[in-house]
Structure 1
Amino acid sequence: MATILITGASDGLGRALAEDLAADGHRLLLHGRDPERLAEVAAATGGEVFPADLSSLAATKRLAADVRARHRRLDVLVNNAGVGFQGGNTSREVSADGYELRLAVNYLAPVLLTRELLPLLREAAHARVVNVASVGQQLFDFDDPQHEHHFTQADAYCRSKLALISHTVDLAEQLADSGITVNAIHPATFMATTMTKASGMPVQESLDKGVAATRRLVDAADVAGVTGAYFHSQERADPSEPDALTPAYRNRLAALTQRLLTAAGV
């Protein structure tokens, strides 16, 4: 039985994944922003709740501390929580730290949470980190890191998700000899979730497809040892922007990431 933390477990893919894993008896640590919805998932899965708002990096750090206080080992971390977009919406929002919201929640929060939980992941024999990314990908603009110009929510979302893929490759290299694998995945396209409904886009693929693809990276034997990869559902793939995997791009992104985390006091 593995101990698995799923962020964004109160709805959509996170909730469906939790229910799927619970059927096989895994110990689930459930993160969500809405305590009532989180309690419903806990009741259905037997999971342990960890409410937190990942739009605050301080709250993200407290979430990690809470998990460390209650558990000595973590076998799998699924960084699933995210902020979506409304098609054509140009309303720019900021996080509790004053950062562009999708950058903060979809990228900075999972980077920080993973970093803070590495001690627990190292205690597991063969731990896995699964970063839920997207086929929607756009290169980061280092001259406009807060996306203050020509903003659309869709572009901000795509930037944050490609940044997460770049970070996945970086972290996998850093942890190459640790026994911890790190992979990113686009589970399925416009699944039947609240996020898809809010986007205004029609449903294209089933939630079951996304759950199966993500579940494979969580505990399937055929991907044991695979690390630093991006998966389009069940298939290993290349990002749509190959420059995002170059050392030069990844180094610039890592330096910016550290500056933003340090400026936020975490």
Structure 2
Amino acid sequence: MRPLSEQTILITGATAGLGRYLTDRLAATGATVIMHGRDAQRLAQAHREVVAASGNERIETVLADLAALSAVDALGTELAARLPRLDVLVNNAGVGAGADSSVRQESSDGVELRFAVNYLATYHLTRTLSPLLARSAPSRIVNIASAGQQAIDFDDPLLTQSYDGARAYRQSKLAMIMLTLDLAEEFGVGQITANAIHPATFMDTAMVREWGITPVNTLADGGEATLPLITEERFDEINGCYFNTTEQERANSQAYEPEARRCLRKLSDELIADALGGN
């Protein structure tokens, strides 16, 4: 593991919530932190605040709407060409069940929104950046998942027949864990390690408040549970695991089914090919 001051860390959804907490803490170590956001004004303001608080001038920004696969593709391509190395990718950006969980929403590509942002963008960005991560080895992928998980119905994976926002959210978070296990098998210790974490229960974030839920945990609770996966040397040897805060646990059983993961990969590749015109 390289010293944090020599590492480059990309955090998606870095302008607020858990992503911002992690950015603040990592910026203070002297790491090069690349902050992703989808709103230019909020991203610029967050960048100014992080630099002012940390004194770290090596904080960069990237702008992309992860609800559009063309934007995800452009982001990954840009970073792969621009960065000399990438030590850690933190896939944190996401959307919750929505204020009205009975209303089905779609991305600009016609994909159910939770699946598109929480999982499919993570899948495509991670796949695009994998060669850069491999060249920077040993490197890490940290996927911000959830204890709220539900098996994917591959007869209706995008919930076109029967929609519920909470189920859509839970399916998308399980899909992130399934991706984590695939990545762990593909690369392994010594190259790229991949782990997933439920950082805390109902942190004090805009997403939780949108649901009308009273927060249970603070951002610091979730942030301090997540930071070891990014910063601690022992995670050079930990791979393909799901953590519920600080404890390793088993995820929903579907995550460990090879055929379910194969179906998910196939669906993901088809959706991406359709959105990007097969390129």
Instruction: State the TM-score bracket (shorter-chain normalisation).
Output: over 0.9
Q: 2:16 is matched with which residue: 11, 22, 43?
A: 11
Gaps of 5+ in 2: 52-58
Query: What residue identity is the alignment partner of 2:158?
Result: Q
Q: Distance in 2 between matches of 1:119 and 1:95?
A: 27
Match for 2:159 among 147, 151, 168? 147
Q: How does 1:188-227 map to 2 (within 5 A)?
A: 188-227=200-239
The DSSP-based 3-state class of the residue aligned with 1:30 is strand
SS of 2:200's partner is coil
Give the secondary structure class of the aligned counterpart of 2:242: strand
CA distance in 1, matches of 2:133, 2:265: 21
TM-score of the two chains, using structure 1 as the length reference: 0.96
Q: CA RMSD in A?
A: 1.3
Cα distance in structure 1, aligned partners of 2:108 and 2:137: 36
Aligned counterpart, 2:95: 83
User: Which 5+ residue runs of structure 1 have no aligned equivalent?
Assistant: none
Structure 1 equivalent of residue 255 of structure 2? 244
Q: TM-score of the superposition, structure 2-length normalised?
A: 0.92
Note the C-alpha offset of 1:178. 5.5
Shift of 1:110: 0.5
Percent identical among aligned pairs is 46
Q: Distance in 2 between matches of 1:146 and 1:256?
A: 10
Q: Which residue pairs with 1:32 in the alignment? A: 37
Hey, what does 1:230 align to over in structure 2? 242
| Corresponding residue number in structure 2 for 1:68 | 80
Instruction: Please say if 1:163 is aligned against 2:168.
Output: no
Offset at 1:256?
A: 1.4
1:87 is displaced (CA, Å) by: 6.3
Instruction: Give the aligned residue type for 2:264.
Output: L
2:189–2:239 CA contact under 8 A, matched in 1: no
Q: 1:129 aligns with which of 137, 141, 161?
A: 141
Separation in 2, partners of 1:177, 1:26: 23
Name the stretch that deviates more: 245-254 or 186-195. Answer: 245-254
Deviation at 1:248, TM superposition (A): 1.7
Shift of 1:150: 2.0
Instruction: Give structure 1 regions of 4+ aligned residues with deviation exceeding 3 angstroms.
Output: none
Instruction: Pick which of 212-221 and 4-13 moved more.
Output: 212-221
